[in-house]
Chains A and B, each alone.
Chain A
Amino acid sequence: MTLAQSIPTATVSESMSWVGLALLFPLVSAVLCALMAAFRFRGKGPALVTAIALGASFAVILRAYMTYSGTPVVIPIFDWIDFSWSGGGTFKSFAANMSLYVDRLTLFWMLFVTGLGTLITVYASEYMESDRGAGYCRFFFGISIFLASMTALVMSDNLLMLYLGWEGVGLASYLLIGYYYTRPSAVAAAKKAFIVNRIGDLGLALGTFLIWSNYGTVQYDTLFAALSSGGWSGADWDKSLIPYLLMLGAFGKSAQIPLYVWLPDAMEGPTPVSALIHAATMVTAGVYHIARMYPLFELHPDALATVAWIGGGTALLAATIGMAQYDMKRVFAYSTISQLGYMFLGLGVGSTFAAAYHTFTHAFFKALLFLTAGAVMHGFGGQLDIRKLSGLLKVPGFRIVGWMMLVGCLWLSALPYSAAFFSKDEIILAAFINGDRAIPALGWIALGTAALTAYYTFRVWFRVWLGPVRYEPDPVEMAHMAAAHGADHGHGDHGHDAASHGAHGHSASHGTGHGHGDSHDFHPHAPRLAINGVLVILGIGAVLAGLPNYLVMAGRESENWVQWMLAGSSAYQGAGVPGGDHSHTILGMDAHRAMLLLGGCATFGGIAVAAWLHLFSRASADRLRSALLANPLTRWIPLGAERKWLVDEFYHWVLRLPLWIGGQIMSFADRHVLDGALVNGFGKLPLALGRLFRPLYGGPLQGYAVTMAGGVALVLAWVVWMWTRGAH
């Protein structure tokens, strides 16, 4: 029995149309935010409205989750496109209605999307407060649009509405990355994200077209029915192209090789955006899409293997780059790419459960990490360079942030028995032993990557939070703040002499850090309730994300909750987990024991190296780097990693430059050849025609009458002629 056959047929339910409110609330809040911007509202209203709307959305999803009966439900909102036509050919209809498809996979995704959305909105209400006014409205408008689009993407019952949501989140992402539109780097990053995503979206669009032309539908339930009734013949080249095209879309949105380059730059956006859109939710859309289309991918083992290799490769590549970055948010961005790679690896080796579980745990701890990074950035004048921050745990008011980041770091490093450990462990395990789909080589790569992950994560934490107290604001950021918001910024004194801080490096001990009374001094300002509260909640959430597995270990549940959430959806592969029956072995040990051992070694090994190089003996880290640089055989390692393996440069020389040259040539040709020849020739043909007929319109009343009567006479004469010809 294939996966498609195991999906229960969806029932159409009008009575559950209240679920549509989950889509409506963010839309309403977007409209309200726009109105507040139009009326030049300066308070925190937009944040309040958005938080309430998203909270309500979460409540709706929660209620849907509580009342969900177990069989997928299609909830029609209204008929959008429903064409059918007769004639030759096999396919006679194209239906894509505004309908929601609710099954456990949908609810699972929506639960953490709306839940995290609400929390991060609350966080952002404090984080963005210095921008109150038009910017504040714009920000929450973007967030609302994002949530509405994401809801459409996840809950749609057809690929067209999914595409609509897909483009919508892309737009929101573009708008929010470019939020600080006065900064050229932010604008460039926004454009980069948009354009790189276009490449992926092209794949998604073409894949959708091919699905329609091959299966005659873009609606999930009919598509799954078509798949299960042997719609697959295997021979058609265009059918086998579908998963690769869909994959391209997923790789664009979820930042995988070769389209990952936009995500690190996307950190130009405000940190809550990085946390919500570029870490926890939007970037998992690709994972969701493949999980949703899993019955299709299942028919193409090669495509799944491709997903696995790309995922594993991305995980490793991003981890190596992350090791050498100094910008805290960029390190986390590369870690996001790397963790997304793990998810795709899980999908590729055939464990949708592992991928979904990792998405779930990752959403919490990565949002937590970004928000803590944001709190540091917010508190220390936009400073993110880990070389310029040290020992912050001793700065008053930052203790909660520091400990919460530790939780995030431990989870990212997959501390044994933490939630992230379970989920990552499942992925690596599946790579080792999951039947036909297992690719052990990728298992080893993933294990190695886990060690690297632990290293670069704790490199950040040890550098920033332990050691001697040292901090300074970011000059660029300070200049920006002073220029843009100096007057009404709550801590307007940040702007003074920012450049001098930057030039000398500002060193202060805990006791004197903010006590100088010197106006030239920089005062970190500690986060308040909204930020701290959200951090603690997310920390607890990250811990609790392991609960499903603890319950199974304690024998209280027979099945992991996440696995249960996949039941009856397109991504459900049965109750068992790989290695669950203890019949598999790795290195002669029981698979699960081996994973615990190997994973633990990787984690603690990474942490230990990080502790040595970045806590106890920071000088040796520099020595190591210069030693590597001194040796011509090894100097490519630090240089390459720091410069992101020159992928951006590669794209620039191989893709952008030729395209730019081509564009210049085209433009030249357009101006001098096409405009000259075509426009003067074909293009002017209609104009010439127009001139030809112009005299007909020039005359007074009788001129028109003559032309009309003449036309009628001509027609009549012609009809008579035709009639006589036809009659005889």
Chain B
Amino acid sequence: MMGMESMGPRLGLLAPEMVLFAGAVLVSVIGLSRSAGMRRSVPLWCIVALVAAAFVSVETWTQERASAAQLLFPSMGSFVKPMLALVGVLLVLPGIGAIDRGVEGAIASGRQAFDALRVMRGEHYAFALFSIAGAMLLCGASDLIWLFLALELVSLPTYIMVALGRGSRKAQEAAVKYFFLGALSTALFLYGFALIYGSTGTLQIAGIRDAFAAQAAGPGIDMTGLAGLCLAILGLCFKITAVPMHFYAPDVYEGAAVHVSAFLAFVPKVAGFVALAVLLGTAGWTGHALIAADGVRVAYTGLPEPVAAVLWMSAVLTMTLGNVGALMQRSIKRTLAYSSVSHSGYMMIGLIVGAPAGINALFFYLLCYGIMTTASFAALAALERSGEEVDSFDDIAGLRVRHPAVAWMLAISAVSLVGIPPMVGFFGKLALFMAAFESGQVALVAIAVVNSAVSAWYYLRLAIVPLVAPPSARSATVVSAPSRWPAICAVVCGVGSVIVPLAASRLLQASERASEGYGAGSAVAGDESGPKGSGGLYTSRLTRP
């Protein structure tokens, strides 16, 4: 049990979240200012808060604080929090100029007086900061209550962001679907949490892990626990757009404003994967060494069989359905939504492989994915056609002629999303597939590679249509968005997709922190000699030394 004496260090770990909360409050107040200049500065403050949070998260993180927090992954936050904050900075940019556009235009032209009830720039960015702060909080979750609250903190603001992101009916339809299906998924994982609690008798993550390990050492994890785990995993699949909870993604990404779609494609996903890593970490992978009830030393490896099977099938279906779904889309945003689904499928491989290699590769992949997917969404946000978002392949045909920078960034991000070598996407896939290969998941790697090949089909369309195809009648009327920032964001991310690989090994090393210290705090200190490498797909081996 945690006493008051460990509160201080834990608060230190929460410094970045506190910075973001302060930033959110500040931003929501500034957003209501009567001065247009002040209102325009909202994204700037948002970025300041995020950069400060990134800085603080690096500065305040210490080994000592992390171990005092009794976390399953004590060091995860030291990689995930800066990643969230820095990609968050990029996610702020595509919205600049799009939010409140009509209202601000009316105010500027004098057609309308300032009305605090009509502007929502402050809210939008405050919600974005809250959501990112929620994802950061997940890294420090030491019990299920915390996990639940942090997950809700991630989701609730995004519902509103979808509804208010743009004024069209599509956005509201997207909000309805997203909210109701989100509530359904929340109920599912909440019930899963209840069952896990019923099986283990504790809400503490570390306690759950010990209880599961003790059960596994005996007759195996009981039905309640397994059902709870599976329900929780399925509920969380909603956050990461994985089968069977991914159906909403194409509609919501299409309906929401493009900068909100970019946000949805990254922040809730990070949150979902962190939560899944923590939940699965309670049930297994490698390196557990515990004393079972009868005092026999037991090394426990691998996920429980049904859980592993559920994850395996979900991963395969997710990547496959994502890719085949994307093949016949006319809408670019839907294509990107399906692409985001398929990337979740790849990343689930990391969950199956587990700590340390799989989890490290998963979070490295998340970073790579964040950069390249933001590049593609930002490139779309940089364009408009008669005041509407650009969303069909017709609109971007021959884009190279009139908007060369955006066209190239779209192409670069697409090529990177396929995973073609010099790009960042390749290194993400390389790390992930290599980890899976090393742990013996050859079939999974093969399926993922075939899927990557299929995905080249639609991604290359995204690269070729703007660069090679002749301009169409529709694309001739495409103009730049009023703000330069989305384009700048696209260029930064696009160039980043090319440059980041230069630092690939350094970033891979950094991502190794994600699972550093996993298993160290189990009932008996981690047995380093325990068997390494998962024993294959459907095995949860019990070895009694």
Contacts and interface: CB of A to CB of B under 8 A. Distances in A.
Asked if chains A and B are in direct contact (CB within 8 A), the reply is yes
Interface string B330-370: 00000000000000000000000000000000000000000
B103 interface: no
A691 B503 contact: no
B502 A98 contact: yes
Interface in A666-723: 686-687, 689-691, 693-694, 696-697, 701, 704-705, 707-712, 714-716, 718-720, 722-723
Interface of B: 176-177, 180-181, 184-185, 188, 219-220, 223, 226-227, 230-231, 234, 238, 243-245, 247-248, 250-251, 305-306, 309-310, 320-321, 323-325, 327-328, 434, 438, 454, 457, 502-506, 508, 532
B227 A716 contact: yes
A82 interface: yes
Contacts of A86: 438, 532
B309 A722 contact: yes
A719 B226 contact: yes
Contacts of B219: 727
A704 B181 contact: yes
A444 interface: no
Chain A interface size band reads 35 or more
Contact of A715 (B230, B320, B506): B230
A720 B325 CA distance: 30
A555 interface: no
A697 B324 CA distance: 13
B504 A707 contact: no
Given A79-B505, A80-B504, A723-B226, A705 B325 contact: no
A720 B248 CA distance: 27
Most chain A CB within 10 A, of B238, B247, B438, B454, is at B247
B234 A687 contact: no
Contacts of B503: 78-79
A716 B310 CA distance: 9
Nearest to B230: A719
Given A78-B503, A87-B438, A727-B219, A708 B227 contact: no
A237 interface: no
B310 A711 contact: no
B231 to A, nearest CB: 7
Nearest to B508: A83
Given A86-B438, A716-B227, A720-B227, A686 B505 contact: no
A85 B438 contact: yes
Q: What secondary structure prevails in chain A residues at the interface with B?
A: helix
30 contacts: A78-B502, A78-B503, A78-B506, A79-B503, A80-B502, A81-B505, A83-B434, A83-B505, A86-B438, A686-B323, A687-B328, A689-B320, A691-B328, A701-B181, A704-B177, A705-B180, A707-B247, A708-B238, A708-B244, A710-B244, A712-B244, A715-B234, A715-B244, A716-B231, A718-B309, A719-B226, A720-B223, A722-B305, A723-B223, A726-B220
Contacts, number: 107
Contact of B328 (A690, A696, A701): A690
Nearest to A722: B306
A719 B310 contact: yes
A708 B325 CA distance: 17
Question: 10 tightest A-B contacts by CB?
Answer: A711-B244, A82-B505, A690-B324, A704-B247, A689-B324, A686-B324, A719-B306, A722-B306, A79-B505, A87-B438
Contacts of B457: 686
Given A81-B505, A708-B181, A690 B325 contact: yes
A697 B505 contact: no
B247 A697 contact: yes
B454 A686 contact: yes
Contacts of A719: 226-227, 230, 306, 310
Contacts of A98: 502
B325 A79 contact: no
A707 B230 CA distance: 17
A716 B235 CA distance: 12
B244 A707 contact: yes
B391 to A, nearest CB: 17
Nearest to B246: A708
B245 A697 contact: no
Nearest to A702: B180
Given A686-B327, A711-B245, A705 B184 contact: yes
